[in-house]
């Protein structure tokens, strides 16, 4: 936790990273707000329990509850949330399960999970190949994805950023080494696979039931203009099917890792969003 302010912001990371991904955002936000950053269940330094047969151990409902408990223990009854990638999916569930606690939400480079799968064609299956690989029964994906951790982490970063734009301050080597260390733990790879397996099983069932009622939490969406999201989907329109208050835009000159590639824009827009709904 960093900074002290009247408004509290919880930041949730994406795959295959940890809370360290917010290195360019959290310090700036902490100048004005109380900022809480965590490693989600299965990632970073957090616990990595063995997945149950129904994958509920890594359901977004359980992962959202983890974050709710953290905030309760810290004494924060109402707060703002922001999530990138998988963290955004936990934010989605938090808005549904804890609507009275969430004052605003910022979603970075995602559309709802069900929509990704339902709209899949050859292009999506190619660009989102890991979505379909991770969900295969254990230990098939774990065996292959955990075989060369460093290659996987570095390739993942390169594939999702704009060619030629990668700078050292976006992904400092000491942070990349931490991602590699985490991903070298078979328990981490298993947990991440379970996170994805849950998305097509127990999460799917939960989300289908909840799609009937629109969320009221104000949502700000941002995505990279040069990333897959921008090339394939109308992000705001898709989220408007699920929520009554959605704004958003593509961040120019940016790939998937919006908080690392354009932290100054993320901070600026999040400040505006938080101030509007504090």
Q: How far is CA 159 from CA 50, 77, 164, 184, in A?
A: 30, 39, 11, 20
Is-catalytic flag, 85?
A: yes
Take residue 85 and report the two structure tokens written for it: 């990638």
Q: b/e per residue, 197-222, with b = 16+ CB within 10 A?
A: bbbbebbeebbeebeeeebebbbbbb
Q: How many whole angstroms separate alpha carbon 32 and alpha carbon 22?
A: 16
Three-class SS of residue 258? Answer: helix
- The burial of 84, by beta-carbon neighbours within 10 Å (0-12 exposed, 13-18 middle, 19 or more buried), is given as buried
Take residue 54 and report the two structure tokens written for it: 């129904």
- Residue among 23, 85, 190, 207 flagged as catalytic: 85
Q: b/e per residue, 238-265, with b = 16+ CB within 10 A?
A: bbbebbebbbbebbeebbbbbbbbbbeb
Is-catalytic flag, 109?
A: no
CA dihedral of 240, 242, 246, 251, whole degrees rounded to 10: -80
- Residue among 13, 92, 256, 273 flagged as catalytic: 256
Q: Annotated catalytic sites, by residue?
A: 85, 256
């Amino acid at each position: 936790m960093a900074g002290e302010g009247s408004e509290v912001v919880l930041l949730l990371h994406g795959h295959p990273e940890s809370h360290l991904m917010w290195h360019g955002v959290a310090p700036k936000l902490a100048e004005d707000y109380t900022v809480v950053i965590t490693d989600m269940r299965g990632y970073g330094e957090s616990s990595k329990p063995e997945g149950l047969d129904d994958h509920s151990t890594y359901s977004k409902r359980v992962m959202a509850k983890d974050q709710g408990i953290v905030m309760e223990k810290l004494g924060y009854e109402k707060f703002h949330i922001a999530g990138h990638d998988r963290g955004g999916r936990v934010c989605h569930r938090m808005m549904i399960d804890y609507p009275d606690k969430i004052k605003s939400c910022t979603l970075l480079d995602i559309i709802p999970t069900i929509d990704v799968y339902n709209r899949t064609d050859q292009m999506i299956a190619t660009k989102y190949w890991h979505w379909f690989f991770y969900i295969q029964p254990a230990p098939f994906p774990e065996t292959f994805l955990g075989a060369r951790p460093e290659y996987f982490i570095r390739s993942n970063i390169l594939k999702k950023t704009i060619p030629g734009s990668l700078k050292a301050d976006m992904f400092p080597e000491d942070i990349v080494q931490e991602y590699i260390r985490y991903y070298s733990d078979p328990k981490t790879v298993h947990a991440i696979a379970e996170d994805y397996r849950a998305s097509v099983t127990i999460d799917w069932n939960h989300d289908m039931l909840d799609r009937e009622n629109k969320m009221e939490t104000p949502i700000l969406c941002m995505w990279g203009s040069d990333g897959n999201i921008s090339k394939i989907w109308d992000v705001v329109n898709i989220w408007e099917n699920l929520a009554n208050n959605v704004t958003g835009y593509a961040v120019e000159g940016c790939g998937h890792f919006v908080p690392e590639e354009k932290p100054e824009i993320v901070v600026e827009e999040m400040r505006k969003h938080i101030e509007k709904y504090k």
